[in-house]
Amino acid sequence: MAEQLALLPGYLTAHLQLTLTALSLGALVSVPAGIWIARRPRLEPALLGLASVIQTIPSLALLAIMVPTLAGLGALAAALFGVELRSIGFLPALAALSLYSLLPILRNTVTGIGAVDPALVEAARGVGMTDRQRLRRVELPLAMPVIVAGIRTAAVWVVGTATLSTPVGATSLGNFIFSGLQTRNHIAVWVGCAAAAGLALLLDRLIHALESGARRGSRLRLAAGLAGLLALFAYTGASLALERLHAPERLVRIGSKTFTEQYVLAEILGQRIAERTGAAARPVPSLGSTVAFEALRAGEIDLYVDYSGTLWATIMKRRTRGDRASILDEVGRYLREEHGVALLGALGFENRYALAMRDDRARELGVRRIGDLARVAPGLEIGGDYEFFHRAEWAALVEAYGLAFAGQRSMDSSLMYQAVAGREVDVISAFSTDGRIAALGLVLLEDDRGAIPPYDAIVLGRPHLAEERPRVVEALTGLLGRIDAERMRRMNLAVDRDGREPAEVAREFLAGLRSGRGSRSSR
Amino acid sequence: MIELDRLCKRFDGVRAVEEVSLRVERGELLVLLGGSGSGKTTTLKMVNRLVEPSSGRVCIAGRDSRDWPAHELRRRVGYAFQQVGLFPHMTAAENVGITPSLLGWEAGRIRRRVDDLLARVGLEPARYRERRPHQLSGGQQQRVGLARAIAAEPELLLLDEPFGALDPLTRDRLQHTFQEIRRELGLTAIFVTHDMTEALLLADRIAVMNAGRLVQVGRPQDLLRSPADAYVAELMATPRRQADAVERLLGPGAS
């Protein structure tokens, strides 16, 4: 709990920066646009329709789409104006959240102005107001409660949706939720949810107080709302300015994907670097799988751990098979030549995509290898993480073994293991180093035809890292080949089953390494 | 003083007002009288260009009304609306002072003017100044509406059935208030109504409209004595018919 609360100020500040900026941008665009549309009834359906379409895009997808969109725009901006746009982190989240806040504000502005009694509009003209005076003195004041209601709706949405910006690399309260769900740390999830809900409620009340105070002429409410909002904006502005001043030049940014092993490894890399070079490491956690690679390629993060087979299948789109060493070589050459990314080395273990079953169930069906599975598959159901059934590995498995299951279900990877243990499904796609395999009495089925490529855990460095930060790269060489599969599995289990913090597990590992108890790779 | 010259208005090809020409002298009150759809309100709105004429023109003190930007014209012409149209987010004082404030009067002058007018329309300023429209009765709202129309010392006052929605007693009292103020301030006004009795009580002259056309213009007694056609004759007969009906009800010797 204390460990989670220590993270709160940082995450909350980042969350405020995102939401207040997005909300301000949204309101600055939507209110004038709404006024403009309200004067042009013929355009109203088309423009409100467009905003509604944006709204119907699932928020997570909208955030994800912003990454390639901004990358494309960034390339254009770089070519035309020599300006660099960051496609990972704050900017894509800000763009998506601003778009998301458009509709409620736009719609309420149009509705609010449209709902002003025509008799009052005529009276305003009759007493001699110009169009602009009528807008400022009559229409806007009368529409204000409706417009503000739209802003409040947008505020609550944006605060909530901002928790989904973690996978695109923006820090937010969502970091609690994403890493908490993966590492089964329910306290982290609760802290994230409660903080986001509290913030949404606070913003809503402050905006309401400001508006109703102004409308009813209550100085107290007006002052309270105004003071609260101004304080939030001032704090956010100051924090943004400070970050600009202290540009984290010396920070080493370490990415991680959304599962336990990645959090632990990111901690190990970060602590090792801090210990050896004194440079502070900043985790950029819970990135989407391809977002992490894109971020590294673009230099938005300095380091992260990926797996040779993943790069082989999803980035290089290869289907051919090969042994561990040759694939590692090939991946290293490809990354260097195509992307300027450095493969700093393998950590020593593999984390394969594998198929797992309950031990008792496997025995009952006489299944030990995937080859045995083909026979009984038509009577079984398989569960996989969101990616699995779309990945090349699954296609390769189906092709090599002629697998045809009675049903397949996609679910969050943190739920798959419980699903198979609880007999909800018969087979799951598992990660071979996952500690829950042993803990839940599961067995991995042998890939007897070698359909799945090797998955060496490898440390990747962004382009030019070695030239610019040689000491950082040097610090990591001591880790290469030092983590075997058993060790990794135990560390994962410590987090997943025993509820320990990844940072703590990493500290222990490094302490062991220093005292010479670190295990050399056995394979 | 003001002159309507062959005013026409078509809405999507439908003729609402046709060839209306009229003169209103300084200090005179002209009643535009007619049934619903006769074109009387449209004619009134063309005077301050709330409705732009399809053809014809309006001259005020010898100048074409199109010489001014529409909003400036409207600040010089007071308007009392049928639905009152008080701004609900403003106090009574702010509503009355709206046109003076648009004209850039200084605050003290506006305040004195507003208090003077509130008193004239029978609303004690200290008590009513800060009230919002929803805190006023229908009659009080209409009084504020009247004060708003004359606040900026307009050269001309336009009134569109301002007492139409009021109960008979309130209407009667407001008609008297209005007459007093008009005489005192010497206002020139065009007053639209469909109520024959109101027309006879208030008008210096009456202009009768029917189906978008002007049928007859004259002093009330001229219209009573020599109606131009059957429509005017019937219209003029209504107050007398109603009086007779009341008489009959009371019966001989009841008074």
Give the domain CATH number at A220: 1.10.3720.10
| A288 pLDDT higher than 80 | no
> CA-based diameter of chain B, in Å?
63
pLDDT of residue B253: 59
CATH number at residue A330: 3.40.190.10
Q: Which whole number is the average pLDDT over A72-79?
A: 80
What domain count does chain A have? 3
> How close does chain B come to A206, measured CA to CA in Å?
22
- Rounded to whole angstroms, the Cα distance separating A292 from A262 reads 11
Q: Mean per-residue pLDDT for A158-181?
A: 89
Tell whether A342 and A367 lie within a shared domain.
no
Question: Which residue numbers of B have CB closer than 8 Å to A's CBs?
Answer: 48, 50, 70-75, 79, 81, 83, 85-89, 98-99, 102-103, 148, 152
Same domain, A111 and A136: yes
Q: Is the pLDDT of residue A152 over 90?
A: yes
Q: Which residues of A touch B (CB under 8 A)?
A: 119-120, 122-130, 133, 137-138, 141-142, 215
Subunit contact B75:A127, Cβ cutoff 8 A? yes
- Distance (Å) from the alpha carbon of A123 to chain B's nearest alpha carbon: 6
The reply to whether A279 falls in a domain is yes
Closest CA to B192 of B69, B70, B29: B29
Give chain B's domains with CATH numbers: 2-250 (3.40.50.300)
CA distances from B223 to B27, B37, B201, B204, B239 (A): 21, 21, 14, 12, 13
Distance CA A520, CA A272 (A): 17
pLDDT for res A521? 41
The confidence score (pLDDT) of residue A162 equals: 94
Asked if residue A486 and residue A393 are part of one domain, the reply reads: no
- A144 plus A288 within the same structural domain: no
- In this complex, the residue of A123, A129, A130 whose CB is nearest that of residue B85 is A123
Closest chain A residue to the Cα of B88, Cα to Cα: A142
Arithmetic mean of pLDDT, B28-51: 92
The one-character DSSP state at A137 is I
pLDDT at A248 over 70: no
DSSP A454: P
Confidence bin at B23 (pLDDT 50/70/90)? very high
pLDDT tens-digit readout, A111-148: 999 999 999 999 999 999 999 999 999 999 999 999 99
Its domain, for residue A326, covers 252-351+458-514
Tell me, yes or no, whether A431 and A346 share the same domain: no
pLDDT confidence of residue A289: 74
Helical spans, DSSP H, in A246-321: 260-277, 289-297, 308-310
Q: Do A120 and B148 touch (CB under 8 A)?
A: no
Give the nearest partner residue to A129 out of B81, B102, B152, using CB atoms. Answer: B102
Contact assessment for residue B208 and residue B216, using Cβ atoms and an 8 Å cutoff: yes
- Could you give the CA distance from residue B102 to residue B90 in angstroms, rounded to a whole number? 15
Q: What is the pLDDT of residues B96-111, one digit of tens each?
A: 999 999 999 999 999 9
Pairing of strands B205-210, B29-33: parallel
Of A120, A130, A215, the CB nearest to B85: A120
Mean pLDDT across chain B: 91
Whether residue A94 has pLDDT greater than 80 = yes
What residue type is B75 in one-letter code? Answer: R
Mutate to test the interface with A, among B47, B49, B71 (most CBs of A within 10 A): B71
Residues of A within 8 A of B83 (CB-CB) are 119
pLDDT tens digits, B142-191 = 999 999 999 999 989 999 999 887 888 888 888 999 998 888 888 999 99
Which is higher by pLDDT, A308 or A86? Answer: A308
Encode pLDDT of A347-359 as tens digits.
Answer: 999 998 889 999 9
Shared domain for A504 and A406, answered yes or no, is no
Residue A391: band (very low, low, confident or very high) from pLDDT cuts 50, 70, 90:
confident
Contact B31, B203 (CB under 8 A): yes
CB contact under 8 A, A126 and B102: no
Q: What is the mean pLDDT of residues B214-236?
A: 90
Residue A505 included in any domain: yes
| Smallest CA–CA distance from A119 into chain B, residue | B85
Q: Report pLDDT for A62.
A: 87
- pLDDT exceeds cutoff 50 at A330: yes
A146 chain-B contacts, CB cut-off 8 A: none
Q: Which pLDDT band, with edges at 50, 70 and 90, does A519 fall under?
A: very low
Q: Which residue's entry shows tokens 């129309």?
A: B149
Report the percent of chain A where pLDDT is more than 70.
98
Within this chain, do residues A428 and A476 fall inside the same structural domain, yes or no?
no
For residue A408, what is the domain's CATH number? 3.40.190.120
CB B121 within 8 A of CB B177: yes
**Does one domain contain both A154 and A215?**
yes
Q: Which residues of A touch B81 (CB under 8 A)?
A: 119, 122-123, 126
- If you average pLDDT over every residue of chain A, what do you get? 88
| Residue among A358, A388, A361 nearest A289 (CA) | A388
In this prediction, residues B12-34 reach a mean pLDDT of: 91
Looking at residue A247, its pLDDT comes to: 58
DSSP H or E stretch at residue A47:
helix A44-56
Q: Which residues pair with B157 in a beta bridge?
A: B78, B189
Shortest CA gap B113–chain A (Å): 16
Selected residue of A127, A130, A132 to mutate for chain B interface (largest B Cβ count, 10 A): A127
Is residue B158 left, alpha or beta, with left meaning phi > 0 and alpha meaning psi from -120 to 50? beta
Rounded to 10 deg, the angle between the A2-38 and A44-56 helix axes is: 160
pLDDT at A361: 92
Give the model confidence (pLDDT) of A487-512 as tens digits. Answer: 999 999 898 888 888 999 999 999 99
Tally of CB atoms within 10 A around A57:
15
Amino acid identity, position A416: M
Name every chain A residue with its beta carbon within 8 A of the beta carbon of B148: 127
Are A142 and A186 part of one and the same domain?
Answer: yes
Listed range (A1-5, A292-296, B40-44) with the worst mean pLDDT: A1-5
**3-class SS of residue B137:** coil
Tell me whether residue A520 is in a domain: no
Task: Say if residue A367 is in the same domain as residue A497.
Answer: no
Range scoring the smallest mean pLDDT among A45-59, A96-110, A199-213, B113-127: A45-59
Q: Which of A245, A277, A312 is the last residue of a domain?
A: A245
Residue A522 in this model has a pLDDT that exceeds 70: no
Q: Is residue A274 part of a domain?
A: yes
Answer yes or no: do B87 and A123 touch at CB < 8 A.
yes
CA-nearest residue to B46 within chain A is A126
pLDDT tens per residue, range A23-72 = 999 999 999 999 999 888 888 888 888 888 888 888 888 888 888 888 78
pLDDT category of residue A392 using cuts at 50, 70 and 90? confident
In total, the C-beta contacts within 8 angstroms joining chain A to chain B are 52
User: What percent of chain A is modeled with pLDDT above 90?
Assistant: 47
Q: What angle do CA A278, A279, A282 make, to 5 degrees?
A: 135
Domain end: A414, A444, A474, which one? A444
Same domain, A156 and A279: no
